[in-house]
Structure 1
Amino acid sequence: MDKIVIIELNAEAKKLYSLNEPPQKSVDKECALRDNHNGKSPNGKIEDFISNVHLNKRVIWVGDTKDEGYTVSIDSIVYLPNPNDPDDLDFFHTKTVSGTGGSTGIVTAIVKNDERLINKQDIYTVNFSIYENGLAPKCFRIDPKLAGNP
């Protein structure tokens, strides 16, 4: 089985783009995640979406929308340390993994080969931009989770 995980952020781009400084709840409502390894949210909320990733394997984040004239670019993935967990670990080799840039950017990262990540969950931030006709991006974020697997 191929253990490369592709996580796709689908955004209601036209609706989000039209909002001026929307509250996080509105951003979360207009976004959905899916991946190729049965990622899911037990309650349907994006902040509880969990992608199962694998040690020393690649994870790729891509953006998509059905709204014509708009694109979704994944700008970066950022590790959010948990100050209440002394055993908290970053799943990647840097705290911020930057994207390829542009109006259709993606982010690719390799999960650390660290067995302490197995059965751990990590909340992280996906920073993304929505472009209208390739111009004038508006920036947003969501905070889903990763779960470590061998």
Structure 2
Amino acid sequence: MTNPYYADVKQWKRDYDRREMVLFANHCIPKTCVCGGPITLATDDKGMSYYECKEYEDDGLHIRHRCFDAIKEELEELKKKVSEEASSRMNVEDEMRKMREDIKLLKELCIEDDGLHSRHRCFDAIEEELVELKKEVAEESNSRMKMEDELKEMREDIRLLKELCM
């Protein structure tokens, strides 16, 4: 069996939710009303300007926001955004300056310039390492050849020993 007040409770909840949405919608310059209606510029008897719903009723379910307050809030929001962007820009500029210094330092370390020729010192280190590796490979090759010769001699000795033993 359902609650006889179920429909009323649902309507109260919808009204409460809409009032909460209206409360949060009254910040900055409104674009549309909570009800979905368009916002128009209206003036009351005292000459105060308002942003209000075209179908405004004083039931708490529609937007009516003073123009001065809305513009003031909008300016505060824009000031916050501008200050955030400025601090972000400063951080990026600092980072770029540090990167430029690092690049300049790396260029000084890597490039040797005598006025006529530009030569990378980084390549010198790589060339030296390559020469060292070639020497190591040659030494390994020589030692391998010696080991293979010794192995051949050992095999020959083993073959001779087998012949003698038989």
Q: TM-score range by the shorter chain?
A: under 0.3
Higher relative CO (CA 8 A, sep ≥ 6), structure 1 or 2? 1
Bigger radius of gyration among the two: 2
Q: TM-score, normalised by structure 2?
A: 0.17
Q: Greater share of strand residues, 1 or 2?
A: 1
Q: Greater share of helix residues, 1 or 2?
A: 2
Q: TM-score, normalised by structure 1?
A: 0.18
